[in-house]
Structure 1
Amino acid sequence: MNKKSMLRLAAPAVVASGVFGASLRLFDYAFKRVDYVPETSADKQKYADAYYRYVAWYRQQPKETWQLHADDPANHLIAHYIPAAKPSLKTVVISHGYKGNGETMANYAQLFYELGFNVLLPDDRGHGKSAGDYITFGWIDRIDYLDWLNQILAKTGPNTQIVLFGASMGGATVEMMSGEKLPHQVKALIADSGYSSIEAELTYLLKKQFHLPKYPFVPLVSLINKRRLGYYLNAVQSTTQLRKNHLPFFFIHGDHDVFVPHSMAFRNYDATQGPRELWIVKGATHVESFWLDPERYRRHVTAFLTKYLTTND
């Protein structure tokens, strides 16, 4: 066999090896934990001073550190609980975004605290103080949050009213939780900028950020995820979970979101089976709706919750 023939025979294997290697790098880039919070996008730097004022408020609040699986280092999870200023039977669970942690949700924590809520802020798997080598994009996290709900009930009693709130990946986490058997104390859910599925989100970002097609990269990343975390990416569907939901749901999304396109908000809104509201915020980029006008954001959230929570504490 001459050299040219050998190269022709080897070429498909070389290409396949290169594609799989690229898929491994994509998986690590997107799914592997990082032990820092990445800088915010340039268009949100103008909110930095306001953000750090919320963080300063958060750090000054008396907190309890809660744990899950304390005796299992690979699954040891951490959350911080801020009790309301006055004894309260209202508690919000706030789910953070991609590569964030509970502290990065300080602005939302203060909003709910000022509305009289106890506030629980978990660090998801692969984030913050919690264990985990990989980010699960809400899928395994949704089960962890059921355990956090049990801790809330043990702390505040059976008459508590619970709200689930999340932004970006946290919004999708709340959407995925909605399809689980939730305790009856969960009264309402709010998702800001949540994606409809991780496969759709990954496909969108591959094209937008890397100019790469869905095939063969997304199926290969999904296969890698199956080997590492035990499930294919097509299982991670907000819309599938929302079709099992009958609780009140408020969707918030900016119409200038180029990270999670606001078309996904319409898919999520159409999927849910319970009472639902959708607020498309004009001019808002990804998770910018709060920052554009915090008071307007508070009014919308308050108006929604007033319909489904009682005021007796």
Structure 2
Amino acid sequence: MKWKKAASILIPTISILGLSQISTKFYRYGFARVDPPLAPDTDDPDYLAAFNEFSRWLGQQEKEHWWLYEDDPRNRIHALYLPNPQPTKKAVVIAHGYHGNAQTMAAYAKMFHELGYNVLMPDNRGHGESSGDWINFGWLDRLDYRDWCLDLVEHLGEDCEVVLFGVSMGGAIVMMMSGEILPEQVKAIIEDCGYSSLHEQLAYRAKVEFHMPRFPTIPIASLINRVVLGFGLNDVDSVKALQANKRPIFFIHGEKDHYVPTSMCFKNFEATSAPKEMWIVPNAKHAEAFAIDPEEYQSRVSTFLKRFGL
């Protein structure tokens, strides 16, 4: 019967070692920097045509290159600043999504320009022209964005008004910023399809994409991340941050979002007691709300901002 006892020890051990190796690969797949192509990965000719049109618009605009921590090669963070053609004290900080960069947010930059805002579009750590080999899913980015807000106040003056806007991972960034001490000039937040927590998002993606169990996949990935980036996956929590939020916030999410489940939007909405609105966009998949109906999207954003005098 000794073989049975040995098997009872060896089989779980081998299984755990195998899952550990797979979890490590999962971490590399999800967290390693990937510089994206200039065009989106899509077969939809209308989407591609619209993307190219917004990219051409961005290329024609007056732009400035801004930097945080410019003298620190390991932490240099880049942003594009687009002053509005009409002098204004209003500004928006636009946070891009996973594997994106500032330039992929051209459509939203144009929208806010038309609404009368100066636009600041950072490249998150591990994206675009910013430094970093690993993606931090907004936890470190949220502090960089706070510093971008301080730079805007210095640039535009103490009487400026700043709005935070983000899509997907960018939506999570601006939600997590809401739990921080921010400059008083930050007046409102708009988030589009951000996740409720990184733990829940990665567990969901591991299940639907790789058919991997939450345990030990996520704990192992969290341990690796604590070594690599200095924090655990449970720290990256939009819901927890929103519980401290006092600023007006507008939640947008696609009805058919199966990448960041629409249910997460309801969790995020319920987490804050601040003035809030929610729009679940019919037939929209992940990050498609603007593409589904740009005019309606801009109208709803404008109405929300005007409600709070912005």
Which residue pairs with 2:219 in the alignment? 219
CA contact (8 A) 1:37 1:99 kept: no
Which residue pairs with 1:247 in the alignment? 247
CA contact (8 A) 2:66 2:78 kept: yes
Q: Does 1:228 align with 2:228?
A: yes
Residue-by-residue CA offset, 1:22-81 (whole Å, 9 max, x unaligned): 111000100110122486464755311011100111111111100011111110110010
Consecutive aligned runs of 4 or more in structure 1 exceeding 3 Å deviation:
2-14, 37-46
Which residue pairs with 1:154 in the alignment? 154
Cα offset, 1:210, TM superposition: 1.2
Q: Does 1:108 align with 2:108?
A: yes
Cα offset, 1:19, TM superposition: 1.4
Q: Does 1:63 align with 2:74?
A: no
CA contact (8 A) 1:161 1:309 kept: no
Cα offset, 1:208, TM superposition: 1.1
Which residue pairs with 1:16 in the alignment? 16
TM-score (norm 1): 0.94
CA distance in 1, matches of 2:231, 2:108: 31
SS in structure 1 at match of 2:212: coil
Structure 1 residues 142-151 or 40-49, which shifts more? 40-49
CA contact (8 A) 1:101 1:128 kept: yes
Residue-by-residue CA offset, 1:75-115 (whole Å, 9 max, x unaligned): 01100100001111000000000000000000000000111
Which residue pairs with 1:135 in the alignment? 135
Q: For this pair of structures, how many residues does the alignment match? A: 309
CA contact (8 A) 2:42 2:48 kept: no
Cα offset, 1:309, TM superposition: 2.8
Which residue pairs with 1:83 in the alignment? 83
CA distance in 1, matches of 2:136, 2:68: 17
1:195–1:274 CA distance, 2 compared to 1 (3 A)? same
CA-atom RMSD in angstroms: 1.8
Instruction: Look up the equivalent residue of 1:276 and give its one-letter code.
Output: K
SS in structure 1 at match of 2:132: coil
CA contact (8 A) 1:137 1:169 kept: yes
Which residue pairs with 2:124 in the alignment? 124
CA contact (8 A) 2:254 2:284 kept: yes
Residue-by-residue CA offset, 1:120-161 (whole Å, 9 max, x unaligned): 000000000000111111111000111101110111000101
CA distance in 2, matches of 1:39, 1:220: 34
1:262–1:177 CA distance, 2 compared to 1 (3 A)? same
CA distance in 2, matches of 1:278, 1:251: 5
CA distance in 2, matches of 1:131, 1:97: 16
Instruction: Look up the equivalent residue of 1:100 and give its one-letter code.
Output: G
1:179–1:24 CA distance, 2 compared to 1 (3 A)? same
Unaligned runs of 5+ in 1: none
What does 1:1-313 align with in structure 2 at a 5 Å threshold?
Answer: 10-37=10-37, 40=40, 42=42, 46-310=46-310
CA contact (8 A) 2:94 2:165 kept: yes
CA distance in 2, matches of 1:140, 1:182: 15
SS in structure 1 at match of 2:119: strand
CA distance in 2, matches of 1:39, 1:22: 31
SS in structure 2 at match of 1:73: coil
Unaligned runs of 5+ in 2: none
Identity %: 47
